[in-house]
Structure 1
Amino acid sequence: MTDQYSSARDTAVTVIGLGPMGSALAHTLLGKGRSLTVWNRTPGKADGLVAEGAHRAATVADAVAASPVTIVCLNDYATMYQVFESAGALSGHALVNLNSGTPAEARTAAVWAAERDLDYLDGAIMVPPALIGYDGSALLYSGARDVLDRHREILADLGDPRHLGADPGLAVLFNTALLGMMYATINGFLHAAALTDSAGVPAAEFAEIALGWFMPVVLDPASLAEQAPNLDKGVYPGDQGTMQMNLNALEHIARTSVEQGVHPAHPQLMKQLAEQAIAQGHGTENYFALFEILKNPGAETPLRAMRPNIRSGS
């Protein structure tokens, strides 16, 4: 796509969607000296930004036309299509879509943009609104690398722009994977705190041990990073502990949860996955062999064996 913008317009950027995150993006861009145009379905949400110097576009088409690049921060892909339905021809501009959704939705959106002759990047914001614009705040992007390179200076105002690859679905895939890890970690802490709470131990007392010693030593990120090459190679030496040994521990966690009246579903699921790994021949390998089960859930053990038994704790 030829460059149809003068150097005077290189600082121009449009933000569509002024929820908490979109507003944070817009305020940051204004603070960086960008010429900002904004549009929101509820026009009043732009009042504060307009007072600070932003231009309020009357329509989506006007908003996109005002800048070489438009950053979209709406609820989801369906909302984006709805908002742009009446925009008409937008050829020759770039859209950077920071909605949330699935990889398939991102790939469909890239096709939708290409049909309208729009450059397109799909992205994911990995920090809360308060950290937008700070060094080290990561924003993930996927799609055509040249689109990111062309608008890198503007996107860098928001945080560290990391390009993951040409597949438009990679940014939301990474986002989902990282959020899944976050929720699993939080759920693990909450379940553990609930176990000790069942004996009258304050969460603050438990946290001092769990977060002050156990997690930094046992779940050190560096030690997990050391295992990553083995995941790629499918090598899981069991000389320091086998899946069968870990199953014993998981059985104790599940039984204790039942005994203490704490919700047992979380440890029971982990136990069932370990049982499936053993049933598929990983019993003498280490716990990281569970990666093979998570990658290939199709080779499941019979449904009856996978169904939790709340009464027995199995």
Structure 2
Amino acid sequence: MQTHTTPHATFGTTSGTPSKPPVTLLGLGDMGTALARSWLAAGHPLTVWNRTPAKAGPLVDEGARKTATAAGALESAAGPVILCLLDDASVGETLEAADLHGKDLINLTTSTPDQARRRARWAQERGARFLDGGIMAVPPMIGRPETGGYVLYSGDHALFERHRETLEVPAGARFVGADPGHAALHDVALLSAMTGMFAGLTHAFALVAPEKDLDRAGLATLLTEWLGAMAGAAHGMAAQLESGDYTEGVTSNLAMMTAANAALLATAQEQHVDPRLLAPYMELMSRRVAQGYGDEGSAGLVGLLGGE
């Protein structure tokens, strides 16, 4: 086993002061490297492994300990083992030869809810404790709490509480349920909403593309302000879905919004913009109105997508 030991690599006490809990990290892509640097900066002894060993070099220079194999990293792990790998399949491949008995596995690898549930069972069958996570941040946000990044966790709540202080070093830590799949489900739900927002931004800038004298920076400011003001609609939709009354608190109903869609589509035609990013949502709205629910808000569209 190839290792590099630094003064941080020993878990114990120094001059009577308890040291920070050790962390083992498997996977040193952009996100893994950002996580590693945050724990090193906070004084945690850090052991790292990466499929491409050269990526560990800079972290070793900064105080990390490198192992030649993932199994070797697990063997010496005395604290949480963080997985930040390519995908769920790579988790299985990486840990295939490792002894997981008694280990605390915290999987920050992007996965689906069902993959997370299967991986939790897989880990438990091998004697490990398991927590799944979904990172709601990009690498530059890690270690910078002022950016608002956080990680969603689900699964073993006792495991989350045991390592909570360590997990909060890179970004905020939010527990979202005992079901191991719920962190991934929340992650994908949030990213899906973000994708829809990016689609809207793309359409908005396409509309103004022909206008050479239009201030795009000014439009960006207006978009940011408007979307921020509208984001609170999520609370209203959640309340309607909980109560089953989709007319509760509605100020702009589907009938009104569907009528207004004509102007959006006509403007797209005038500006020679393909409406494909908006048309599917508008079609759902029209279908719900045709079913006789024009007085509702958008919550009724959830069922049309099969989400109920």
Using the size of structure 1 for normalisation, the TM-score is: 0.84
Structure 2 unmatched runs, 5+: 1-10, 14-18
Q: Aligned partners of 2:121, 2:157: CA distance in 1, in Å?
A: 16
- Which 5+ residue runs of structure 1 have no aligned equivalent? 1-5, 298-314
Aligned residue among 156, 159, 162 for 2:168: 156
| Paired residue type of 2:276 | A
Once residues 190 and 71 of structure 2 are traced to their aligned partners in structure 1, the CA distance between those partners, rounded to angstroms, is 34
Partner of 2:21: 11
For the structure 1 residues 71 and 153, does the alpha-carbon distance in structure 2 shift closer, same or farther, using more than 3 Å as the test? same
Maintained 8 Å contact 1:134/1:158: yes
Question: What residue number does 2:7 align with?
Answer: none
Matched, 1:195 2:207: yes
Deviation at 1:277, TM superposition (A): 1.4
Check the 8 A contact 1:21/1:129 in 2, yes or no: yes
Select the residue among 135, 139, 149 that pairs with 1:137. 149
Look up the SS of the partner of 1:33 in the other structure.
coil
C-alpha distance in structure 2 between counterparts of 1:259 and 1:190, whole Å:
17
The answer as to whether partners of 2:240 and 2:247 remain within 8 angstroms in 1 is no
Residue type of the alignment partner of 2:222:
I
1:126 matched to 2:99: no
- Residues 113/78 of structure 1: CA separation in 2 closer, same or farther (3 Å cut): same
Separation in structure 1 between the aligned mates of residue 234 and residue 87 of structure 2, nearest angstrom? 33
- Residue type at the aligned position of 2:235: A
Maintained 8 Å contact 2:200/2:278: no
1:85 corresponds to which letter in structure 2? E
Q: Secondary structure of 1:151's partner?
A: helix
**Matched letter for residue 32 of structure 2:** G
- The equivalent of 2:103 in structure 1 is 93
Q: Say if 1:264 and 1:130 are closer, same or farther in 2 by CA, change over 3 A.
A: same
2:217 corresponds in structure 1 to 204
Alpha-carbon deviations, 1:124-174, whole Å to 9, x = none? 111111221233431110001011112222112122211111111111111
SS of 1:139's equivalent in the other structure is strand
Residues 208 and 145 of structure 1: CA distance in aligned 2, closer, same or farther (over 3 Å): closer
Distance 1:21 1:249 in 2: 43
How far has the Cα of 1:111 moved from its partner? 1.1
Structure 1 residues 38 and 296: alpha-carbon distance in aligned structure 2, compared to 1, 3 A threshold: closer
Question: Residue 216 of structure 1: CA displacement?
Answer: 4.3
Bigger shift: 31-40 or 239-248? 239-248
Q: Match of 1:174?
A: 186
Judge conservation of contact 2:120–2:180 (CA < 8 Å) in 1. Answer: yes
State the AA in 2 paired with 1:192.
A
Question: What is the one-letter code of the residue matched to 1:209?
Answer: L
Calculate the aligned-residue CA RMSD, in Å.
2.2
Of residues 72-81 and 245-254 in structure 1, the stretch that sits farther from structure 2 once superposed is 245-254
Paired with 2:40 and 2:228, the residues of 1 have a C-alpha distance of 39
Q: Within 2, Cα distance between the matches of 1:181 and 1:47?
A: 38
Map of 1:280 onto structure 2: 291
CA distance in 2, matches of 1:24, 1:121: 20
Superposed counterparts of 1:50-129, under 5 Å: 50-67=60-77, 68-87=79-98, 89-129=99-139
The CA distance in 2 between the partners of 1:198 and 1:248, in whole Å, is 26
1:99 CA drift (Å): 0.6
| 1:58-114 Cα distance to aligned partner (Å, 9 max, x none) | 211110122232100001001111111232x22111111101121011111111101
Relative to structure 1, the CA distance from residue 287 to residue 10 in structure 2 (aligned partners, 3 Å threshold; closer, same or farther) is: closer
> Could you list the runs of 4 or more consecutive aligned residues of structure 1 that deviate by over 4 angstroms after TM superposition?
6-10
Map of 2:39 onto structure 1? 29
Equivalent residues, number: 288
Q: Matched residues in 2 for 1:122 and 1:55: separation?
A: 25
Q: Per-residue displacement from partner, 1:253-272 (whole Å, max 9, x unpaired)?
A: 22332332212111211211
User: Which residue does the alignment assign to 1:240?
Assistant: 251
